[in-house]
Every structure is written in C-alpha cells, then in structure tokens.
Amino acid sequence: MKLLDSYVFLERLRELIYELLEYRDRVKEDGGEIIPIRRGTPLVKYGFISMLKGGVIMDVTNEKQAEIAEDAGAVGVMVLDKLPYDVRMAGGVARTADLNVIASVMNSITIPVSAKCRIGHTEEARLLEEIGVDLIDESEVLTSC
C-alpha cells in the first residue's frame, strides 16, 4: 500500500468513526439503547495512534488556537493551562486546563483533543475522562529551579 493510499484509507476510517459517533448521539437523544463500548482494546489503541501518525499535535490554550491548528492541518491538539514557554517564564508547574476551556475546544473542532493531568492525580484524570477527551497525558512540565 502506498503512503498516499494509506493516508486516504485513514482519512476515510476517521470519517466513518465520526459518523458512528454522531449516529450514537442521535440514538441516545431518541431514547434508544446503546450497546456498551469496550474500551482500551488493542484495536482502539492502535487505530487511534494510526490516526495521529505522521502529523502534528499542537499545544493550544483556547478554542481559537484550536481552530487555527485544525485549519493548518494538525492531526490533534493538546489543551494546556499555559504553553510551556509561559510555564518556564512563570517559574512554575503547569496545571490541568480549565474543564470549560477543554469542553469548548472539543465542541469547536473535529480533530482529537488531548489534555494533561499531573502525575498521580487520578481525580484530574477521571474528570478529563468524564468530559470525553480523546487522550489523557499524565505528565509534569519540568522547569528549571
């Protein structure tokens, strides 16, 4: 399979996934029953990574930046409280972005949305999972002392 064919295949796969998600939402709104989705299967893990392969995941702090990133061809965005440069300049540690900001970004773009939570802060991760981010990055932004 040529690279271009792979890209076309992945784009079509992405479109189908979003169509299925939209269908699921319509069924829920109409009061229909939804079959539980298995999470964390190898198919899901490898499929999601394949969608991001070969692209750029942009750091954003608001929905306007997310829209610009999507228009510029980013394959995903990482919603941050502050950009790494701003964290270094403030001499601090980055926190999880405001959940309202993350939700507004998710509603404004169609590409996958990621968000960070601090290492070991499982409640932050659960909140991010609850609002439906596509990927949770559990990490710390290291800054100089």
Place of tokens 């109409």: 30
Q: Which residues pair with 59 in a beta bridge?
A: 78
Choice among 2, 53, 64, 116 that is catalytic: 116
Which contacts (CB < 8 Å, 24+ apart) does range 8-12 have?
10/50, 10/51, 10/53
Alpha-carbon span 97 to 9, nearest angstrom: 33
Quick check: is 2 catalytic? no
* Residues annotated as part of the active site: 116
